[in-house]
Amino acid sequence: MPAIDTNLIMDLRPHVRIVGHSDGKIKLRYRMGAIGVLKKIEKSTGGRLLDAIEGVEKASVNPLMFTLTIRYDPKVIQPSWWEELIQDSDEAARQVLDRLRAA
């Protein structure tokens, strides 16, 4: 499994917000500022950035709705980790990324 690119994830964080979340599925809305980061993700990982995270089952982007939907296994990734990763401080987000790398 490839390594998690924490820099790209940290770059994306300021441009997304959670618009829906249930165990096993989270939907993020991204702003225009995310497009540059998404292009970097496409170039460096072939759009497979989240595949490096154990427990992520599928990620899909809807460019018309500006959303990113992630389906995941809540037995591997605790649902609260997503809120910490997206909404909390950079330090909290890095701690979540460390937990995800260890999973």
Q: For the segment 52-99, what is each residue's pLDDT rounded down to a tens digit?
A: 889 999 998 898 999 999 999 999 999 999 999 999 999 999 999 999
* Structural domains in the chain, sorted by start: 6-102 (3.30.1360)
Residues in the chain: 103
**HSE-up of residue 6 (Cα within 13 Å, Cβ side):** 13
Rounded CA separation 29/62 (Å): 9
> Is residue 2 pLDDT above 70, yes or no?
no
In a 13 Å sphere around the CA of 33, the CA atoms on its Cβ side amount to: 7
Q: Are 26 and 70 in contact (CB under 8 A)?
A: yes
